[in-house]
């Protein structure tokens, strides 16, 4: 084992020992990871989680609240001073005061909640406190973990082969045209490397903006560079027709060196400092967008979710595994935006998600971890209603579509409410993969967040939700028992 690897593992073990000692002797702590692919609602979920825990009401499926055992939850200073704090107050103001969705997750952030509760166990009663550390990060970063085991040549080959998939040729054409004019054995040239990297990033951006936006191709930081924007570690690209040996002073040698720098400076620190320390994980999934985009997008989503779970370090924990190879012992996959469908389709949405992650679920359960699925809306933007179409009564949802949204030729102004029949999912989830729902046949306009009014006692109103309480019970309920 290289000395650097040994040192990294030793450092992780020392940190894990300190955290485990803290949990056992001083203060129990649970570290929850929140992630998901593009536009899956990570920020909204995390904001709603804090909101409902600190409010402590309106959660019938969350046992500590339903049983009256949740005494108080409050935000306290987070443990990692080098990680940005999750801007809860800003996001809550966006949802409740401006009625707009908060900006998407584009970097890692963190918060800590001190949750005071009454224990429910017969052998151990009385008050307890759990420190809940939540780490919110883009799902695209998770897919980067697969790069750790790849070399530059294998990654180049796999990425270029990926352009041959259905629907990608048009997006990839400008980049591939530039690629044909590059000589991997040519001289090291910074300008050429930057031009190739820019063309590759344009291709990745087009994929994300297109119908396959539910999936992603690493490197994830290329589209979310943060403070690394313009750095050499983010200025590389795949090359074609690579020789067996890459000369250090060639264009291919430069690309290989930067690929390895990306893994060493970006991917491995994320794995070591954040991802490896997660005890529980929720993966949010925008299944409805994939359904509306068609079977190809659903196949991309299935592959992306499989890659996400392969990246997770999962299994039942023992004291030794906690110290030297910590594992996530519970994983929850959540299909978001369930409020865009009538409740009669919620079970079908959950069944479709379960089908998409079925292979991954079998691996997870075999490793000794618990895995679950749920269809939820972290913040419910609609209510259920019905509309009449001739002599037929259709199950619909009503809400305030955002300004500029168009449904059946009607453009909405962002102020008026509308009742919309979104369509229905088939009772058999396999039918969706077989093309039973033609692309574009469902109606999923973007609704504004709901108007939240004070309750009868004058207290600030709670954000409505669908099955967020079930997700909370699965993820942390056992640690508050």
- How confident is the model over 392-406, as pLDDT tens digits? 899 999 999 999 999
Q: Are residues 25 and 79 in the same domain?
A: yes
Q: Are residues 118 and 257 in the same domain?
A: no
The whole domain housing 476 covers: 17-137+274-380+467-480
Q: Are residues 114 and 175 in the same domain?
A: no
- 432 is a domain residue: no
pLDDT of residue 15: 52
Q: Are residues 281 and 196 in the same domain?
A: no
CB 319, CB 359: distance < 8 Å: no
121 burial type by CB count under 10 A (0-12 exposed, 13-18 middle, 19+ buried): exposed
Average pLDDT, the chain: 87
| Sequence-separated (6 or more) residues with CB below 8 Å from residue 392 | none
CB 49, CB 72: distance < 8 Å: no
- 415 is a domain residue: no
- How confident is the model over 103-161, as pLDDT tens digits? 887 788 999 999 999 998 766 778 999 999 999 988 778 778 889 889 999 999 999 99
Q: Are residues 127 and 54 in the same domain?
A: yes
- 237 is a domain residue: yes
Pairwise CA distance, residues 43 & 377, whole Å: 12
- How confident is the model over 165-192, as pLDDT tens digits? 877 888 999 999 999 999 999 999 999 9
Structure tokens that stand for 60 in this block = 């019938």
pLDDT of residue 298: 87
Q: Are residues 343 and 256 in the same domain?
A: no
Alpha helices of 181-294 — where are they, by DSSP H?
190-209, 251-262, 268-273, 287-293
Pairwise CA distance, residues 135 & 267, whole Å: 16
Alpha helices of 56-166 — where are they, by DSSP H?
63-66, 88-96, 139-143, 152-162
Q: Are residues 194 and 234 in the same domain?
A: yes
Q: Are residues 47 and 129 in the same domain?
A: yes
Residue 28: which CATH number?
3.40.50.300
Structure tokens that stand for 396 in this block = 């619909």
Residue that is last in its domain, among 269, 296, 314: 269
**Total domains in the fold of the chain:** 2
Q: Are residues 265 and 282 in the same domain?
A: no
316 pLDDT band, cuts 50/70/90, is: low
Q: Are residues 41 and 172 in the same domain?
A: no
- 219 is a domain residue: yes
Tell me the backbone φ, ψ of residue 389, rounded to 5 degrees.
-120, 95
- How confident is the model over 8-40, as pLDDT tens digits? 444 555 555 554 444 444 689 999 999 887 789
Q: Between the CA of residue 162 and those of 157, 218, 220, what are the distances in Å?
A: 9, 11, 16
- 335 is a domain residue: yes
Structure tokens that stand for 165 in this block = 């998939």
- 462 is a domain residue: no
The fraction of the chain above a pLDDT of 90, given in percent, is 59
Q: Is 393 helix (H, G, I), strand (E, B) or coil?
A: strand
- How confident is the model over 62-110, as pLDDT tens digits? 999 999 999 999 999 998 898 999 999 999 999 999 999 998 877 889 9
Pairwise CA distance, residues 139 & 45, whole Å: 14
Residue that is last in its domain, among 254, 269, 284: 269
Q: Are residues 156 and 251 in the same domain?
A: yes
Q: Are residues 60 and 209 in the same domain?
A: no
Residue that is last in its domain, among 218, 242, 269: 269
- 240 is a domain residue: yes
Pairwise CA distance, residues 369 & 393, whole Å: 44
- 43 is a domain residue: yes
Helices and strands of the chain, counted as H and E runs: 17, 12
């Amino acid at each position: 084992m290289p000395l650097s690897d040994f040192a990294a593992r030793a450092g992780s073990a020392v940190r894990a020992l300190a955290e485990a000692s803290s949990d056992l002797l001083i203060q129990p702590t649970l570290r929850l990871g929140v992630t998901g692919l593009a536009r899956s609602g990570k920020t909204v979920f995390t904001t709603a989680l804090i909101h409902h825990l600190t409010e402590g009401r309106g959660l019938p499926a969350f046992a500590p609240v339903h049983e009256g055992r949740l005494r108080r939850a409050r935000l306290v200073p987070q443990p990692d001073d080098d990680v940005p704090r999750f801007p809860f107050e800003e996001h809550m103001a966006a949802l409740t005061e401006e009625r707009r969705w908060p900006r998407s997750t584009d970097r890692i952030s963190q918060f800590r909640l001190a949750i005071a509760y009454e224990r429910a166990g017969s052998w151990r009663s009385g008050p307890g406190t759990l420190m809940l550390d939540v780490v919110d990060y883009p799902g695209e970063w998770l897919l980067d973990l697969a790069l750790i085991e790849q070399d530059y040549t294998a990654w180049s080959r796999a990425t270029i082969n990926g352009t041959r998939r259905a629907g990608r040729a048009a997006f990839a054409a400008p980049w591939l045209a530039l690629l044909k004019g590059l000589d991997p054995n040519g001289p090291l040239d910074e300008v050429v490397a930057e031009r190739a990297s820019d063309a590759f990033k344009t291709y990745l951006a087009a994929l994300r903006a297109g119908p396959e936006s539910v999936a992603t191709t690493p490197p994830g930081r290329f589209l979310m560079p943060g403070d690394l924007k313009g750095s050499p570690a983010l200025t590389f690209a795949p090359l074609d027709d690579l020789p067996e040996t890459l000369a250090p002073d060639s264009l291919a040698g430069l690309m290989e060196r930067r690929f390895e720098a990306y893994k060493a400076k970006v991917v491995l620190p994320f794995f070591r400092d954040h991802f490896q320390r997660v005890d529980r994980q929720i993966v949010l999934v925008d299944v409805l967008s994939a359904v509306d985009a068609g079977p190809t997008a659903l196949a991309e989503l299935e592959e992306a979710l499989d890659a996400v779970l392969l990246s997770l370090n999962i299994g039942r924990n023992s004291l030794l595994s906690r110290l030297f190879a910590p594992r996530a012992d519970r994983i929850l996959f959540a299909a978001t935006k369930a409020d865009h469908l009538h409740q009669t389709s919620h079970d079908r949405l959950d069944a479709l998600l379960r089908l998409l992650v079925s292979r991954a679920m079998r691996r997870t359960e075999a490793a000794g971890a618990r895995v679950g699925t749920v269809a939820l809306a972290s913040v419910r933007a609609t209510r259920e209603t019905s509309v009449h179409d001739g002599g037929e009564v259709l199950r619909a949802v009503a809400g305030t579509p955002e300004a500029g949204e168009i449904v059946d030729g009607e453009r909405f102004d962002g102020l008026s409410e509308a009742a919309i029949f979104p369509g229905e999912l088939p009772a058999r989830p396999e039918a969706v993969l077989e093309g039973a729902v033609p692309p574009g046949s469902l109606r999923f306009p973007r609704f504004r967040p709901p108007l939240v009014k004070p309750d009868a006692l004058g207290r600030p109103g709670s954000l409505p939700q669908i099955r967020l309480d079930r997700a909370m019970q699965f993820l942390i309920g056992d640690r508050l028992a």
